[in-house]
Structure 1
């Protein structure tokens, strides 16, 4: 049997490192730019004479289309390669963000910030980048890599949200949107480093089409529970990300505090997501998810019940940041663990659609109920209740790897 030349091992490691770095940078830009959209709610609404529902509806549509497009973007990446999808997604993401600057009507902002950015987010999503990493990293290091990718995305939130606020303060919100769109365009530049698609199984191995993989997943009770559990994550994250800056201003605190609060969420999420990746590689992923969700419920309840101040905002931001996207490594890891990495972009994309349905409702309800009642209280307490529900949903998931028989052996 022939062996690979000694020089091949370093070459393989370098190739894997390039994929990891590029995927992390895609996540950083994808997360960082969109995390700052909440900063534009108040200035855009004031400039155009809108209630908060208009901007909130556009961001809700964005989240829904991002989620609806994610399974299709994942399937295209699984079938034709990751780079092509990222290039198209990066261009749409950048164009939609820039066009928000000239969107002066509810229809226009829904089209640009909602439809175009939503489709761009699906094509340039961290879900596709994570799947590209999962294909090249050994199974024993997969949870670590997924945690690293998610943590780097969170670093984008920490870095780019304050930068976005700085752009608004220095140049106004319209120029700030153009500059943030330019950053999103860098995703297309990074895309070639993530070229490739899943390899077919070895001869005699069990082969599946994408449709067969999807049907198999939905027949698995744990996959369905992951879908509904991730719905809750989306509800929490999108509501807080979009409405927390305005909530802080409503309470008489500085608008700059809202930007730093979101930035602090991103900073602590670097710690939380990376730690979740390490823990998911050592302990039960489903129990880890249950703990994360019930802790979120406690943190949100404490924030609403205690008097608000600069200190309470910063403590809440740090605490919720530790739990922010710490759900991603164990959730995506469970998908790969149970079903394998071949169609991970597709299968995790569908679970992520559940996340984005929750995101749509969180953002939309925040705007509608605020305009109707002048308060976010109903949405905050809905988030507490949903956190408890999500903790219960993840507890019974069967984490065991799905064993498939080759077609010939099954006959």
Structure 2
């Protein structure tokens, strides 16, 4: 199940992380500005998060296989529709609405929810880290391939080719069929979903965890979408931006595994605080260092190590605090906070550039958010709420 989950996330997230490469060719051919492109991807991220809790609740009840297969079909349809777009509406429906909703069925929340229910507690965060690393493996391989396809065949044909890869998610979904027995029985104990939601929403630690994940979404989406264009704006070749995204993926393979492994041995909230603070430090060093190909790639590598280490730690905390019965639904709701941040990271990047002609303000906001998230994670209570209502 872990191998199948990692392969699915490799495909789904690898394609998604290439979307920033399409900013320049799409805006030039379709006659739209960066703010509009950023708003489309912001819509994608917002729908990704808004639909996720409902998809997660369905997966908790009916299993992940059907969810993954439907998500794959919608993902392919969204990519194909985008390839035929002649203006902002086609881009919005394809890249925005369809791809956004599809992502909620084929990425971390659904796959980790299935795996988390059968893995031993002391190994759970490590398993989540391995799955998260799958997304980075996809980024390392798919992003340079997407850039090569754009250069060789144009952005429209490259979307068709990437869509063909996504078809593989459907057969991989059968690898997440869990076996019934003692290991599968434990997740069915615990509170019903309505009482679990009431418990979480009344918990201060829940909201602190969500606020930190909001910052994660802002960071990774702003950097993932606007970093390649920021690099070319400064006079560096486009290949540096694509290589930078690939390096983020490569170093996050190591980072996701290590943060996940550390989360099984040390305080998850303290690790999250350290991770967010290090992001702020990495951005400060990047902005203070004269920009060159080396400094851009060095930033990508360092930020990559910190890229998605939040995922196994955050999902592990949700399981530790609220149990397994509603794990996919609850992590889906936390992930909605992540995607609200992603919406703002995608949209504000384009908006601020169109207004000021520079991304500097968004970089400064990113630094402030990093240290705010570090502080917000420190008071989180890592044990189940003491006032938990009893199971009927």
TM-score category, normalised to shorter length: over 0.9
Find out whether 1:369 has 2:369 as its counterpart: no
> Where in structure 2 are there 5+ consecutive unaligned residues?
none
What is the match of residue 64 of structure 2?
Answer: 82
Q: Deviations over 1:190-242 (max 9, x none)?
A: 1122135995659xx96422111111111221111111110000000000000
Q: Deviations over 1:25-68 (max 9, x none)?
A: 11111210000000011011111122111211111100000000
TM-score of the pair, normalised by structure 2: 0.96
Task: Number of aligned residue pairs: give it.
Answer: 388
Say which of 248, 251, 255 aligns to 1:265: 248
What is the match of residue 208 of structure 1?
Answer: 191
Find out whether 1:26 has 2:8 as its counterpart: yes
Corresponding residue SS for 1:399:
coil
TM-score of the pair, normalised by structure 1: 0.91
Q: Against the structure 1 CA distance between its residues 292 and 407, is the aligned structure 2 distance closer, same or farther, given a 3 Å change threshold?
A: closer
Corresponding residue SS for 1:137:
coil
Q: Is the 8 A contact 1:206 1:406 kept in 2?
A: no
Equivalent residue runs for 1:35-50 within 5 Å:
35-50=17-32
Q: Is the 8 A contact 2:191 2:391 kept in 1?
A: no
Q: Is the 8 A contact 1:26 1:126 kept in 2?
A: no
Q: Against the structure 1 CA distance between its residues 358 and 406, is the aligned structure 2 distance closer, same or farther, given a 3 Å change threshold?
A: closer
Q: Give how far 1:272 is off.
A: 0.6
Distance 2:335 2:190 in 1: 24
Find out whether 1:388 has 2:371 as its counterpart: yes
What is the match of residue 241 of structure 1?
Answer: 224
What is the match of residue 7 of structure 1?
Answer: none
Corresponding residue SS for 1:136:
coil
Say which of 75, 80, 102 aligns to 1:120: 102
Distance 1:206 1:274 in 2: 29
Q: Deviations over 1:85-133 (max 9, x none)?
A: 1111111111111211111211211111000000000111211101111
Find out whether 1:99 has 2:45 as its counterpart: no
Q: Is the 8 A contact 1:239 1:363 kept in 2?
A: yes
Distance 1:126 1:185 in 2: 18
Q: Is the 8 A contact 2:49 2:335 kept in 1?
A: yes
> Where in structure 1 are there 5+ consecutive unaligned residues?
1-18
Find out whether 1:336 has 2:319 as its counterpart: yes
Q: Give how far 1:189 is off.
A: 2.0
What is the match of residue 311 of structure 1?
Answer: 294
Q: Give how far 1:187 is off.
A: 1.4
Distance 2:142 2:151 in 1: 14
Which one has a bigger Cα radius of gyration? 1
Q: Give how far 1:329 is off.
A: 1.0
Structural RMSD (CA): 1.7
